[in-house]
Amino acid sequence: METNNTNSFEPKVVAFVCNWCTYAGADLTGTSRIKYATNVKIIRFPCTGRIDFMLLMKAFANGADGIIISGCHPNDCHYTSGNFHARRRWMIFRNLLDFIGVDVNRIVFSWVSAAEGAKWAEVVNESVDQFRQLGPATSYQKLIKNSEFQEVE
């Protein structure tokens, strides 16, 4: 189980999850009483297909140290193909992120179904570990804030 050690850096993590699979999976984590790090807070979307680049940048600009994007498994998307589009878009974002100096390791892409309560806890804990090692994301935040970040990509 994660313990919030006071000395070590505790990253702020936002999770963008889809309503049908991962949100329900995270509900199951709760129903199963599986514990995970408090660092992660969830925002619900209809589908990972809804999540655009701007939102990721917005999160970094507001101080996120890491982002988890999680939805249904390939082929299991509640909306047929939303997650597939999300995945494809992510491939394009990666290069863009790299370009503006955001470490792509600060974004974790995962699939968690409604039946995978335990997996959600794993994803959270592993991601928090990963972000913890990367340290605070302040430099990117400054960069993003200063570069007069606009709501158009």
Contact predicate 12/43, CB 8 Å: no
45, 21 in Cβ contact below 8 A?
no
Helices 117-134, 22-31: axis angle to 10 degrees equals: 100
Does residue number 91 form part of the binding site for another protein (CB under 8 A)?
Answer: no
Contact letters for another protein, residues 1-20 (x by CB under 8 A):
x--x-------x-x-----x
What is the per-residue DSSP string for 35-62? Answer: ---TTEEEEEES-GGG--HHHHHHHHHT
In this structure, the dihedral spanned by the alpha carbons of residues 53, 51, 95 and 146, taken in order and rounded to 10 degrees, is 30
Applying CB under 8 A, does 129 fall inside the site for another protein? Answer: no
Q: Does 131 bind another protein (CB under 8 A)?
A: no
User: Counting contacts by CB under 8 A, is residue 85 touching another protein?
Assistant: yes
Segment contacting another protein (CB under 8 A): 100-108, 111-119, 127-135, 142-150?
A: 111-119
- Positions touching another protein (CB under 8 A) are 1, 4, 12, 14, 20-21, 23-24, 26-31, 33-36, 38, 41-47, 49-52, 55, 58-59, 62-64, 72, 75-82, 85-86, 89, 113-115, 121, 151-153
